[in-house]
Amino acid sequence: MSENVADEISRLPALSRTGLLSLWRELFRQPAHPKLRRDLIVPILAYKLQEKAYGGLKPSTRRRLQQIAEELERDRHAHVRSKPSIKPGTKLIRQWQDQTHEVLVTREGFEYRGRQYRSLSEIARKITGGDSEKIAVRSEAVETLDLSRSRRRQCW
């Protein structure tokens, strides 16, 4: 972080509420909500100063946040799942108690033995009989096969 930005951020807590609200209007081009508390204003302004100096979120991150917001608007209690960070089509191969387990990464989550799962944790519990800690402790022979590139790499 440059000294100018760091200096600006370090001065925020010492500003009066009027000073903070003035900076808010300057950075956001609109007034802050009147009930917004000081302990929230300061970190929001710090983030905005950093965003202004170094750039904001990537477009893909903005789109994902928009999708999450829309899903939560439709259903406040919706379970928002993260997208797998491993490309669909990647095959995860894991040795566990003398058995080879293969998991295929799909757009919806993961496929194991013909059934869809939302997380690798669910599959680990199924493999270990509910004690998913066991699979994390034994980490030898862990690799993935990326079918799109036919390369092997460490993972799961």
pLDDT band at 131 (very low <50, low <70, confident <90, very high): low
pLDDT confidence of residue 96: 83
CA distance 147 to 150: 5
In 3D space, the residue among 98, 97, 89, 103 whose CA is nearest the CA of residue 147 turns out to be 89
pLDDT confidence of residue 69: 92
Q: Answer whether residue 1 shows pLDDT above 60.
A: no
Whole-number Cα distances in Å, 152 to 90, 98, 114, 141, 142? 10, 21, 23, 12, 10
In contact, 31 and 24? CB cutoff 8 Å: yes
Identify which has the larger pLDDT, 151 or 118: 118
Mean per-residue pLDDT for 57-62?
A: 89
pLDDT in tens, 23-41: 999 999 999 999 999 999 9
pLDDT in tens, 132-149: 454 443 333 333 444 444
Q: Answer whether residue 129 shows pLDDT above 90.
A: no
Min mean pLDDT across 46-50, 66-70, 79-83 is at 79-83
pLDDT in tens, 76-112: 887 777 665 778 899 999 888 888 999 999 988 899 9
CA distance 17 to 23: 10
In 3D space, the residue among 92, 133, 132, 131 whose CA is nearest the CA of residue 113 turns out to be 92
